[in-house]
């Protein structure tokens, strides 16, 4: 990574790992040796100034954490009028075990948000952190990645139309045993995909993704319906996952391509009989100009027959770690076994170390890529629109920024597109002086 204070690392705490900035790792080590302050309640909404941006999307709402160090905004998701924000180090239920806040926009008015639920790990299952990194939502169903401390295994928790402080409708675990926390997470309708990049399937440590299909009686405690596997060990396969329709995309940012560790992403197409059993990829996505340690596959998204893959450490010309996002559209002849990009997207305003593509979200003809280390680590998000005739390589992008952004905010650490709005997480956002409470933002066309 380009910046010594804000590299993205895998933090390993007893039995699991999850991604966070290096400054958070230091904070965790200190926190574990001290008594933690009592958790404070949830929500802070701030008056909005004029956003510093050149996008047609305007800032509609901002929510903020109330306790420094919770990493509020490390993950975000949105569906309909619902905004979901993860706080993977919240102590709302137990020390540093994590939480998720659920907000509802009254009658679709994002300027009028109400917190309707606080999701926390079930009693005895959440010690040690990670609950809330990542999160996903589809309709009235929310899924939260985490770790079951009682079994010492990765787990995801499903909540249906939650309010207050509810218990999950079901806990999703694996039949193979993983020992690590969930990193990748996606949901569409009644199908959930969970990525566990350090899972040892067959004692190889290659990582895996697991598919869960909702039973006819509704979500309940269950193991996977299907298992998606890579072909190489130790590639962090499952670090990122996404689902749309019959298509699932899984990122593996340490895959060797042509003998060079540049990363890859994999497409799995749902079999005619549905998701069950063990499956190998339909297509491997690669960057035609990929470089060593590019991080290709750190983030993925999919919408219909088009996928987006982030490579935040890709060099753009001589600009190291500037980052790029790659688009893969299904050819008329169908998905091939191996495919290079339809288009490479960069931002002409990005600088070395920006890490564009650290997060990506794709919806129809719109793609947004987070660059959380740009502008003194204040961070930006870049909006790309598909031109007439299909995606083409381009450096034309609209910049999206927070109205109250300052250095070290990490705006763009997480991004999500849903139902005409864009959600962006900023886990380093400071309230007051040096406190880092974190924030989440919603952008859309003027209401």
Q: pLDDT by residue (tens digit) across 231-241?
A: 777 788 999 99
Specify the DSSP element, H or E, that contains 193. strand 191-196
pLDDT score at 151: 85
Contact in structure between 326 and 309 (CB atoms under 8 Å): yes
- Return the minimum-mean-pLDDT range out of 84-93, 158-167, 194-203: 194-203
* pLDDT, tens only, 105-124: 998 899 999 999 999 998 87
Q: Is residue 55 part of a domain?
A: no
Q: What torsion, rounded to 10 degrees, do the Cα atoms 76, 198, 362, 223 define?
A: -80
In a domain, 41, yes or no: no
**Given a cut of 70, is residue 436 above it in pLDDT?**
yes
Answer yes or no: is 403 within a domain: yes
Count how many domains the chain has. 1
Determine the pLDDT at residue 54.
54
**Sign of the torsion formed by the C-alpha atoms of 96, 205, 252 and 322:** positive
Per-residue pLDDT at 199 exceeds 50: yes
pLDDT, average across residues 79-89: 96
Q: Write the pLDDT tens digit of every residue in 128-173.
A: 668 999 999 999 999 999 988 888 889 999 999 999 999 999 999 9
Token pair 């994999």 in the structure block, residue: 266
By mean pLDDT, which of 66-70, 144-148, 262-266 is the weakest?
66-70
Percent helix, strand, coil in the chain, to 5, is: 5, 40, 55
11 or 137, which is more confident: 137
CA distances from 398 to 17, 30, 333, 395 (A): 34, 39, 33, 10
Q: pTM for the full model?
A: 0.87
Q: Is residue 351 part of a domain?
A: yes
Instruction: Tell me which residue range forms the domain holding 308.
Output: 8-34+62-444
Q: Is residue 314 part of a domain?
A: yes
Would you tell me how many other CB atoms lie within 10 Å of the CB of residue 104?
16
Q: What is the pLDDT of residue 447?
A: 56
pLDDT (tens digit per residue) in 280-321: 999 999 999 878 889 999 999 999 999 999 999 999 988 899
- For residue 396 the two structure tokens come to 């034309």
Examine residue 1 and state whether it is found in any structural domain, yes or no.
no
- Confidence bin at 203 (pLDDT 50/70/90): low
Give me the numbers of helices (H) and strands (E) for the chain, helices first please. 2, 35
Helix (H, G, I), strand (E, B) or coil at 30: helix
Please tell me the predicted confidence (pLDDT) of residue 12.
35
Q: What is the CATH number of the domain that holds 317?
A: 2.130.10.130
DSSP β-ladder status, 380-385 and 366-371:
antiparallel
């Amino acid at each position: 990574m380009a910046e010594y204070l804000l590299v993205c690392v895998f933090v390993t705490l007893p039995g699991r790992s999850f991604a966070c900035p290096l400054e958070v790792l230091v904070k965790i080590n200190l926190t574990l040796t001290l008594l933690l302050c009592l958790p404070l309640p949830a929500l802070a909404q701030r008056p909005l100034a004029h956003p510093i941006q050149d996008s047609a999307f305007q800032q509609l709402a901002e929510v903020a954490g109330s306790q420094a160090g919770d990493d509020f905004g490390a993950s975000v998701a949105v569906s309909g009028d619902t905004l979901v924000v993860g706080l993977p180090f919240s102590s709302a239920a137990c020390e540093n075990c994590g939480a998720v806040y659920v907000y509802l926009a009254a009658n679709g008015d994002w300027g009028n948000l109400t917190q309707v639920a606080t999701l926390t790990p079930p009693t005895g299952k959440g010690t040690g952190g990670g609950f809330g990194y990542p999160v996903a939502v589809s309709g009235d169903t929310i899924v939260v990645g985490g770790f079951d401390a009682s079994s010492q295994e990765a787990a995801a928790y499903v909540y249906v139309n939650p309010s207050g402080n509810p218990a999950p409708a079901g806990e999703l675990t694996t039949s193979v045993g993983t020992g690590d926390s969930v990193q990748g997470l996606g949901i569409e309708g009644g199908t959930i995909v969970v990525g566990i990049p350090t899972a040892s399937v067959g004692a190889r440590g290659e990582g895996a993704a697991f598919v869960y299909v909702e039973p006819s009686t509704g979500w309940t405690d269950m193991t996977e319906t299907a298992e998606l596997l890579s072909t190489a060990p130790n590639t962090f396969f499952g670090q990122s996952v996404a689902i749309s329709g019959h298509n699932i995309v899984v990122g593996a940012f340490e895959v060797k391509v042509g003998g060079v560790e540049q990363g890859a992403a994999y497409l799995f197409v749902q079999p005619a009989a549905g998701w069950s059993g063990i499956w190998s990829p339909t297509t491997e996505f690669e960057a035609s100009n990929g470089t060593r340690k590019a991080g290709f596959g750190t983030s993925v998204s999919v919408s219909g027959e088009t996928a987006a893959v982030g490579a935040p450490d890709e060099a753009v010309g001589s600009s190291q770690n500037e980052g790029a996002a790659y688009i893969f559209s299904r050819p008329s002849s169908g998905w091939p076994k191996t495919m290079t990009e339809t288009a490479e997207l960069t931002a002409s305003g990005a600088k070395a170390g920006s890490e564009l593509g650290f997060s990506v979200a794709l919806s129809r003809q719109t793609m947004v890529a987070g660059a959380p280390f740009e502008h003194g680590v204040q961070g930006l998000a870049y909006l790309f629109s598909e031109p007439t005739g299909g995606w083409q390589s381009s450096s034309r992008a609209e910049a999206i920024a927070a109205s109250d952004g300052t250095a070290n905010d990490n705006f763009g650490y997480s991004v999500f597109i849903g139902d005409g709005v864009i959600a962006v997480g900023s886990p380093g956002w400071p309230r007051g002086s040096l406190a880092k409470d974190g924030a989440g933002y919603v952008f859309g066309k003027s209401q």
